[in-house]
Structure 1
Amino acid sequence: MALRGSIDVLSLRRIVGWAWETDAPETPVAVLIAIDRRVLGRCKADLFREDLAVHGIGTGRCGFAMSITAALLSPRHGYEISARREGDGTHLPGSPYVLAPAIGIVGEP
């Protein structure tokens, strides 16, 4: 099954993207967001996005957005965040995505 998609917004508090299964275009993809084996959250790619509809990506109802609890990620650390199809673990194209540290400590190399 061909999985298409991407992460369009990646921050310490929010992840926004889309996922679409070409062999099951009407079925929302269940997306799992994780760092290594630590699951940050799950969501369904079923939000309407006009940009996707215009480009013929299904009916456009393949977007997702997930908020991240403030205590889960530190702005002082970088992370490799994976976005995968739940069930078989297939990564979205480009996954894992790199989230760079948002702040640094003065005097660090």
Structure 2
Amino acid sequence: MPSAENLIDAVLEDSGLTLQQLAAICAVEPEWVTKHIEEGLLNPLPQQHSEWRFSSAHLVRVRRIVSLERNFEAVPELAALVADMQEEIDELRRRLRRAGLE
């Protein structure tokens, strides 16, 4: 039986979050998300509708960036760079687990 987290991820991947939903979940204004998209720090899913959609990976990324900006007063570009590095570390750890090395 799939875990609740896997089920939530599956639902998010099927339909995605809207700009307003993502902003509300992350406790930021929709303008904050839009600004980060315009600056190339966030990339929404390819548009299938007339509005942007965001996956569970976007949700994690936005939460990381928001946390870095708020807790460490990081400029958006630096916060996004740190989020990039965290995502790369997470991916490398997944690869190590799959290879049975961790």
Provide TM-score, normalisation by structure 1: 0.23
Relative to its length, the structure with more strand (as a share) is: 1
Provide TM-score, normalisation by structure 2: 0.24
Relative to its length, the structure with more helix (as a share) is: 2
